[in-house]
Chain A
Amino acid sequence: MSYYPRSPPPLQHPVPTHPAFIPEPPSTPASPHGYKRFASSPPVAHPPQPFGSPPQGYTNPFQHQQQQHAPRQAHAGAGTQSSFSVPPADFSAWGLDGATAQLGMQLGQNAMNAGQEYVSKNLGGLIPASALKHHFNVSNSYVIWKLRLLVWPWRHRPWTRKMHRSENGASEFASPRDDLNSPDLYIPVMAFVTYILAAAFQSGLQDRFHPEILGITGSKAVFVLLMDFLFVKGGCYLLGVQGSGSVLDLFAYGGYKFVGVIVTLVAGLLTNSRTLYSLVFLYTFLANAFFLLRSLRSVVLPDAAGAPASVGTVSHAQRSRRITFLFLVAVVQIAWMGILVRV
C-alpha cells in the first residue's frame, strides 16, 4: 500500500439529519394489510433492530427496545391483561373493518380464557400443580450436584431431606433448590427424553432406524418406570410401611436410573470393546443401586429422627424384612437397566 506523505483527512461518520425511512414490506396473501408491527414507533419508522439506527448515542437503542418490549409483552400476555395500549389489528385485507377485528380479537381472548378455566377446573384436581411445581423448582447448581451425586454417590454424607419450610403451619420438605437430597422431577424428565433420543441416535448409527423406534422406546421406558413404581409401592403396602413417600417422589427416584442408562449408552457408542461397556454398565448400576438404597432408607425404615409419634416401632423381624426389601429394590434395578440398555 502506498504511503501518503500527509496525514489522512479526519474521519467523518455519516450523520443523517433525518431518521431513515424503511418502506413497508409488500403485503403477502397470508398477512393482512401491512406488516403487523409490534413496535410503537412512528409511521416514518425506525427499524426494529437497533443496528440500523443512526449513531446518535447509545441510549437510543435501549429506548427502542424498551418501547418495543412493552407492546410485545402486551401481545404476548394478551390473554391475561390488556393494560398496555394494543395497536388495533389491521385486518382490512381480509374484509373486516376495525371494529369487527377488535371484536374478533376479544372473542379469541375470551375463548382462550374460558378454555384455560375449563381445563384448570376439570383437570386441576388430577395433577397436583403445587406438588409438581415443588419438584421442578431446581437451580443450575442443584442439577450439577445431583448429576455428580448420581454418578459418584459413595462419599455423600447426610442423606436426610431437610424439613424446615413450614408454611401455613405445616412443615414440609424443602424444595430442591435448597436441599440436595430432595428428589426433583426435572432431571428424570430430561433424562427420559434424552434416553429416547440417545436410543434413536444409536439405532440410527447402526442403520436400523425407523420412526417407530421413538414410540417403542418411550413405551418401554414408561413400562419400566411403572413396574419399578408398582414394585416399590406394592412392597411398601405389603410390609406395612407408613406413608411410603408420595407418588411423585417415587417416580422421581425411579427416573434417576435413566442417567446411568444414558452414560452406558454413550460409553457403548464411544468404545467398541464389550468389557468396557459392561464395566460402565455395572458401575452405573451399582451407583444407582447405592443411591436408591440411601434415598429410600429414610422412606422405608422408620429410623429417622423426624416424627417418632406417628410411626410405631418395628420389631426386629419387621426391620430385617424391610431391609431385605430395600436390598431387593436396589438389586432389581439391574433388571430395569438391562431392559432399558437394550436399545
Chain B
Amino acid sequence: MFYGFGSIIYFAILIVNAIAVLSEDRFLARIGWSSVPQPAANAGFGNDVYGQQDIGVKARIINLISAVRTLMRIPLIGINLLIIVFEILRP
C-alpha cells in the first residue's frame, strides 16, 4: 500500500497543493467559506480562552485554509519545482 517515505511526502505535498489552489473569491466566497475578519465576527470576543473555544469548527477550518494559502503558496512553488525536476530525472 505505502511503499516508502516518498509516497508519504507526495501525499502530503498533494494535499497541501490542493488546499493552496483554492481561489478566495471565485470559490470560497461562493460557498460562504471566505475568511471572515476576526473583530466583526465575534462580538463577544472576551478572554482569549473563551475566544478560542467560541470560534467553532467551521471558522477554524476557514482560518486554516486561509493560513495555508497565505503561507505556503510561495514555498510550494519551490517544492513543486524540486519534485518536477526529480520526476523528470528519474529513469
B-binding residues in A (CB < 8 A): 215-216, 219-220, 222-223, 226, 237-240, 242, 310-312, 314, 318, 321, 339, 342
Contact = CB atoms under 8 A, between A and B. Distances in A.
B50 A312 contact: yes
Contacts of B50: 312
Interface string B1-28: 1111100100000000000000000000
Interface in B27-73: 47, 49-50, 52-53, 55, 57, 60-61, 64
A14 to B, nearest CB: 66
Contact of B47 (A215, A312, A314, A318): A312
Contacts of B55: 240
Given A220-B1, A238-B57, A321-B57, 11 more contacts: A219-B2, A219-B3, A219-B4, A219-B5, A237-B64, A238-B60, A240-B52, A242-B53, A311-B49, A312-B47, A339-B1
B4 A310 contact: no
Given A216-B3, A219-B3, A237-B60, A312 B8 contact: no
13 contacts: A215-B4, A219-B2, A237-B60, A238-B57, A238-B60, A238-B61, A239-B57, A242-B49, A242-B52, A310-B49, A311-B49, A321-B57, A339-B1
Contacts of A342: 1
Contacts of A318: 53
A342 B1 CA distance: 10
Contacts of B61: 238
B57 A216 contact: no
Nearest to B55: A240
Given A242-B52, A310-B49, A314-B53, A223 B8 contact: yes
A339 B1 CA distance: 9
B58 to A, nearest CB: 9
Contacts of B1: 220, 339, 342
Nearest to A215: B4
Given A310-B49, A312-B47, A216 B4 contact: yes
Contacts of A242: 49, 52-53
A335 B2 CA distance: 15
Contacts of B2: 216, 219-220, 223
Contacts of A310: 49
A342 B60 CA distance: 36
B49 A312 contact: yes
Contacts of A339: 1
Contacts of B57: 238-239, 321
A226 B8 contact: yes
Residue among A238, A311, A321 with the highest chain B CB neighbour number at 10 A: A238
A314 B1 CA distance: 41
Nearest to A216: B3
Given A219-B8, A312-B47, A312-B53, A240 B3 contact: no
For the complex of A and B, list the 5 residue pairs with the smallest distance between their C-beta atoms, beginning with the closest. A240-B53, A312-B49, A219-B4, A240-B52, A238-B60
